[in-house]
């Protein structure tokens, strides 16, 4: 696929202004594992991990055309890599959801650089797209990102690489190989058509591994709505979104119904409200969200015994929870023009376990950002956020996965 990059550069002729930007990122974490954690039993605690990433971003075009190419060089190192080399499960979130492969994407645009017992270095093309816009029409072909839905923490309507609820780095969503078209209607509404190509588990390009979707976005008085119909892998998916102002607040809801190929329906959705206000000349933003996972269960069972429907979506990165009902509260406070604190609390409404994440972001300008924070699971052994049972030790005690408190730091520099 490198020829496609060269073709895009040639097509632009480089006669129009070429924009080039670079993002450097370092992310590090330290995770303190509880005494009953399986990884602690194998490798001790704390677990230390880090990633370093250089993202080169090029764009240009003219005459209605635009092209973009993003090339990322990444090195992962630490205990997570060492555990994966031993075929053991790595610490969840150790690398902050860094895309590391294209096994299921249409085009394999990832190439290894070096690897060892405790490190893995590679480079990949995360954006390779040609865009065309003329009048009311817009088209995109290549590797790009699409985000649908209205969730603040959970995104059931975003079928294409949604961020995990605790993802720290949200600067760039992982790209998919797609064809996207959008048209603006006289009423102000717009229609989007999307096709995403993928490979199946055997590495073959098939329609059953692809997604084909259409979405209508429009207005009804003060309300805003979206209607979705899709063929996603082997299932049919239908969704509806409503956004409605309530005084100074905004109410949003997404409802997604999946017609399973094997028969039956699963319905997921979110309902949230958020509000911004000032306290003592400080900007404050708060939100509350309810999430229903139609693929989750009402009780915790070992991961291997979970529903295949849930396991499939966990593996694809479409859902991130095991049970059905969750509540999330959160917000941000701008303590200073350069310092902002973000906080999110996620609660499992079945087993009463919860997850608290907070971070402080120091942003001295457009070119640099420093973020530090921690994630604290709160629950008993066997709860979703207290540590899921995965095995037994030689003495017969139950060993778990997850449940470790994690401190993290992220530094980003643009030039």
Tens digits of per-residue pLDDT, 377-408? Answer: 999 888 899 888 877 777 777 888 888 899 99
Residue 298, pLDDT score: 82
Q: What is the mean pLDDT of residues 102-110?
A: 91
Distances (CA, A) of 213 to 102, 157, 174, 239: 22, 12, 19, 11
Q: What is the mean pLDDT of residues 60-87?
A: 88
Query: In this predicted structure, which of 35-49, 131-145, 355-369 has the lowest mean pLDDT?
Result: 35-49
Q: What is the mean pLDDT of residues 291-318?
A: 87
- Choose between 327 and 42: higher pLDDT: 327
pLDDT tens-digit series, residues 229-277: 999 999 999 999 999 999 899 999 999 999 999 899 999 999 999 999 9
pLDDT grade, residue 140 (50/70/90)?
very high
pLDDT grade, residue 6 (50/70/90)?
very low
Phi, psi of 79, deg, nearest 5: -70, -30
pLDDT tens-digit series, residues 170-198: 899 999 999 999 999 999 999 999 999 99
The fourth-level CATH superfamily of domain 2-414 is Porin (2.40.160.10)
**Residue 66 pLDDT greater than 80, yes or no:** yes
pLDDT grade, residue 306 (50/70/90)?
confident
Residue 87, pLDDT score: 57
Q: What is the mean pLDDT of residues 351-363?
A: 95
- Choose between 4 and 258: higher pLDDT: 258
**Residue 310 pLDDT greater than 80, yes or no:** yes
Residue 92, pLDDT score: 43
Residues 294, 297: Cα–Cα separation, whole Å: 8
Torsion of CA 293, 297, 301, 305, to 10 degrees: -90
Q: What is the mean pLDDT of residues 103-122?
A: 91
pLDDT tens-digit series, residues 277-286: 999 889 999 9
Query: In this predicted structure, which of 32-36, 222-226, 330-334 has the lowest mean pLDDT?
Result: 32-36
Residue 16, pLDDT score: 56
Q: What is the mean pLDDT of residues 98-126?
A: 89
Query: In this predicted structure, which of 43-57, 340-354, 391-405 has the lowest mean pLDDT?
Result: 391-405
Q: Name the residue with tokens 């399986």.
A: 38
The separation between CA 15 and the C-alpha centre of its own chain, rounded to angstroms, equals: 36
Residues linked to residue 230 through DSSP beta bridges, in sequence order: 213, 237
Q: Three-state SS string across the chain, please? A: CHHHHHHHHHHHCCCCCCEEEEEEEEEEEEEECCCCEHHHHHHCCCEEEEEEEEEEEEEEEECCEEEEEEEEEEEEEEHHHHHHHCCCCCCCCCCCCCCCCCCCECCCCEEEEEECCCEEEEEEEEEEEEEEEECCEEEEEEEECCCCCCCCCCCCCCCCCCCCCCCCCCCCCCCEEEEEEEEECCCCCEEEEEEECEECCCCCECHHHCEEEEEEEEEECCEEEEEEEEEECCEEEEEEEEEEEECCEEEEEEEEEEECCCCCEEEEEEEEEEEEEEECCEEEEEEEEEEECCCCECCCCCHHHCCHHHHHHHHHCCCCCCECEEEEEEEEEEEECCEEEEEEEEEECCCCCEEEEEEEEECCCCCEEEEEEEEEEECCCCCCCCCEEEEECCCCCEEEECCCEEEEEEEEEEC
The separation between CA 163 and the C-alpha centre of its own chain, rounded to angstroms, equals: 2
pLDDT grade, residue 97 (50/70/90)?
low
pLDDT grade, residue 90 (50/70/90)?
very low
**Residue 10 pLDDT greater than 90, yes or no:** no
pLDDT grade, residue 143 (50/70/90)?
very high
Residue 293, pLDDT score: 97
**Residue 15 pLDDT greater than 50, yes or no:** no
Residues 242, 226: Cα–Cα separation, whole Å: 7
**Residue 109 pLDDT greater than 90, yes or no:** yes
Residue 94, pLDDT score: 46
Q: What is the mean pLDDT of residues 325-344?
A: 96
Residue 391, pLDDT score: 75
């Amino acid at each position: 696929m490198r020829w496609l990059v060269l073709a895009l550069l040639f097509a632009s002729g480089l006669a129009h202004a070429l924009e080039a930007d670079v993002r450097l990122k370092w992310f590090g974490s330290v995770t303190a594992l509880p005494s009953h954690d399986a990884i602690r039993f194998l490798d001790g605690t704390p677990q230390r991990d880090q990633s370093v990433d250089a993202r080169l971003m090029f764009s240009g075009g003219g005459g209605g055309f635009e092209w973009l190419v993003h090339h990322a060089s990444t090195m992962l190192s630490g205990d997570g890599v060492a555990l994966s080399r031993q075929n053991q499960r790595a610490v969840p979130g150790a690398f902050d959801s860094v895309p590391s492969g294209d096994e299921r994407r249409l085009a394999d645009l990832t190439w290894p650089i070096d690897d060892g017992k405790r490190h893995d270095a590679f480079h990949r093309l995360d954006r390779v797209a040609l865009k065309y816009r003329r009048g009311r029409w817009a088209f995109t072909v290549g590797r790009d990102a699409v985000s649908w839905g209205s969730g603040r923490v959970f995104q059931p309507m975003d079928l294409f690489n949604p961020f995990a609820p605790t993802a720290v780095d949200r600067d760039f969503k992982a790209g998919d190989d797609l064809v996207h078209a959008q048209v603006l209607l006289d009423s102000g509404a717009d229609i989007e058509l999307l096709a995403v190509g993928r490979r199946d588990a055997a590495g073959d390009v098939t329609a059953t591994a692809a997604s084909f979707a259409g979405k209508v976005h429009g207005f009804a008085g003060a309300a805003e709505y979206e209607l979705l119909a899709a063929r996603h892998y082997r299932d049919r998916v239908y969704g509806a979104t409503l956004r409605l102002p309530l005084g100074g607040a905004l109410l949003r809801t997404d409802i997604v119904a999946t017609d399973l190929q094997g028969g039956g329906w699963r319905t997921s959705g979110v309902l949230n409200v958020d509000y911004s206000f000032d306290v003592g000349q400080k900007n404050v933003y708060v939100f509350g969200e309810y999430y229903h996972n139609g693929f989750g269960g009402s009780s915790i069972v070992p991961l291997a015994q979970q529903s295949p429907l849930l396991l499939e979506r966990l593996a694809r990165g479409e859902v991130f929870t095991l049970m059905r009902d969750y509540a999330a509260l959160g917000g941000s406070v701008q303590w200073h023009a350069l310092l902002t604190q973000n906080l999110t609390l996620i609660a499992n409404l079945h087993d009463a376990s919860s997850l608290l994440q907070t971070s402080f972001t120091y942003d001295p300008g457009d070119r640099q950002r420093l973020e530090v924070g921690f994630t604290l699971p709160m629950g008993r052994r066997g709860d979703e956020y207290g540590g899921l049972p995965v095995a037994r030790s030689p003495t017969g005690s139950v060993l778990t996965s997850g449940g470790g408190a994690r401190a993290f730091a992220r530094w980003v520099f643009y030039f």
